[in-house]
Amino acid sequence: MSQPCAVNNCKRVSRTLCHCCEQNVCRDHFNEHVDLLNSQLNPLTDDINALSDRLTAINIDKIANNSRQKLDQWRMDCHKIIDRFYEEKCHELDQCVTESIDKQRKEIADVRSKMTRLIENEETTNSDIDSLTSTIRNLEEKMNEIEHVRVQVDVHPLIIDDCLIQIGKSRVHEFDLMSLSSPYRTIERGHSSWNALTSSDRFLLVHMNSNLCLINQELSIIKELNWNHSLINEMCWSSALNCFFIMTTSGTFLFNENTMLIESVEQIGGGNCWSGTCSEKSLYLSRYAWDSSVFEFSLLPSIQLRRHWKTIDTTEQKQLVDSIVYNCGTVALVINDQSHRVKLIELRSSKNFDPFWSFGLDTIYSVTRVRCCLLSCNEWLLADWNASCLFLITNEGKLKQTFTYISKPYHTKFFGSNLLAILTDGNINFHKL
């Protein structure tokens, strides 16, 4: 028996079952259903065409530019390491040859001195002549060796491990403070240690129990040196000079991790340098003064003052720059704004100091210091020891997470490929990321 069309007010007899709506409809309404479905394809077609156009318009070089800058910087750093190693071995080679020549020169001088004494005393014997003759013949043989023997140098090929660089999707969203693991390793330090922390490409530098300590990536203290200068405010690494800068209440020093030598940087002058960071060409310093100043020094060919920047234009507003961190043409400044009783982080251009963004921290104001470190995913980690709190800020200047730490965090540093070092009152805690 025929059924009526399921569409309201339609008197026609159904002709087919519409599988889309599972209803019996007449021929006209079935065609309407087909036309309606087809019409819905049109905006979807427009959407897919728009996506295709957007994909075509993507500039691959622009997307890869920041990462390529990291590769370029890695290449330059590696070239510097190779050049330094080459220079060290050249010095070692010259020293090896010089030692042989100096030894021969001393022996010749001794023989000449002996002959002079014999001539002056006029007491030369046949035995003296025989002895001098034998000595001179031995010196001749040694001279032949020096002139003809070459220093052996064994050279092994430089093997590049492909794992040194891993390329994949950005992990910008993967770091999660809420899942911060318990400390993987803890190194105790005395309460008299200064709260400063930094790292080179090989070592973590920290002040512990009156000593400067170098910690390798296996978290072993491999070198230490007694620190007999004034209180350390901050430390940073310069790849251009292959040295650490150490900022103190009395002056600024250079510390060489290879020679373990410390020298004062007289060109900077004055004391109470509060914070600092290095780019490939410059050193940026702030002093313990509420004048919002940042000083830029050139590093090569010598350390010289280049520019004096200000975070504000007015002298009435009091700001202290607590922390400075350089990254790919920018500097992050953690600012203690006493006038407005607020702590904030700003990202500025390292070339002209123009601001990109500013973010105020939601924390109880105090004059205590907030420090900053850069994570591998271009995010900023701020440590507020007064509030026992860590703030994770994106590279776009947005708050990602706030985290209460197990103890007061004075300083943080990303170290190696997956370690976060957190300096507390009595320990250095290392967390695996």
Whether the predicted pLDDT of 169 surpasses 70: no
Identify which of 35-49, 151-165, 297-311 has the greatest average pLDDT: 297-311
CB 264 within 8 A of CB 253: yes
What is the pLDDT averaged over residues 135-141? 84
What is the pLDDT averaged over residues 310-324? 88
Q: Which pair of structure tokens corresponds to residue 178?
A: 């809420």
pLDDT averaged over every residue in the chain: 87
Integer Cα distance of 226 and 179 in angstroms: 38
Q: The domain 177-432: what is its CATH number?
A: 2.120.10.30
CB 383 within 8 A of CB 370: yes
Greatest alpha-carbon span in the chain: 151
The type of residue at 188 is E
Integer Cα distance of 190 and 213 in angstroms: 13
Integer Cα distance of 329 and 352 in angstroms: 10
Can you give the pLDDT at residue 142?
Answer: 80
DSSP code, position 99: H
Integer Cα distance of 146 and 158 in angstroms: 31
Integer Cα distance of 236 and 372 in angstroms: 12
Can you give the pLDDT at residue 163?
Answer: 65
Can you give the pLDDT at residue 309?
Answer: 92
For residue 50, how far is the Cα from the chain centroid? 40
DSSP, collapsed to helix, strand or coil, labels residue 217 as coil
DSSP code, position 13: B
Integer Cα distance of 198 and 380 in angstroms: 15
Whether the predicted pLDDT of 356 surpasses 90: yes
Whether the predicted pLDDT of 14 surpasses 80: no
CB 243 within 8 A of CB 257: yes
Quickly tell me which residue has 């002058």 as its tokens.
Answer: 269
Return the C-alpha torsion angle 117, 118, 122, 128, nearest 10. Answer: 160
Taking residue 316's Cβ as centre, other Cβ atoms within 10 Å add up to 6
Strand partners of residue 421: 413, 430
Can you give the pLDDT at residue 173?
Answer: 47
The per-residue pLDDT for range 264-304, each reduced to its tens digit, is: 999 998 778 999 999 999 999 999 999 889 999 999 999 99
The per-residue pLDDT for range 213-238, each reduced to its tens digit, is: 999 989 999 999 999 999 999 999 99
The per-residue pLDDT for range 109-132, each reduced to its tens digit, is: 888 888 888 787 777 788 888 888
Alpha carbon separation from 377 to 209, 331, 414 (Å, rounded): 33, 16, 11
Interior angle at CA 222, CA 236 and CA 385, nearest 5: 45
Interior angle at CA 264, CA 261 and CA 270, nearest 5: 155
The per-residue pLDDT for range 386-423, each reduced to its tens digit, is: 999 999 999 999 999 999 999 999 999 999 878 999 99
Integer Cα distance of 37 and 309 in angstroms: 64
The type of residue at 50 is A
Strand partners of residue 374: 380
Whether the predicted pLDDT of 150 surpasses 80: no
Q: In what order do the strands lie in the sheet with 273-278?
A: 273-278, 282-287, 293-298, 304-310
The H or E element that residue 347 is part of is strand 342-349
Lowest mean pLDDT, pick from 190-194, 318-322, 379-383: 190-194
CB 51 within 8 A of CB 29: no
CB 126 within 8 A of CB 147: no
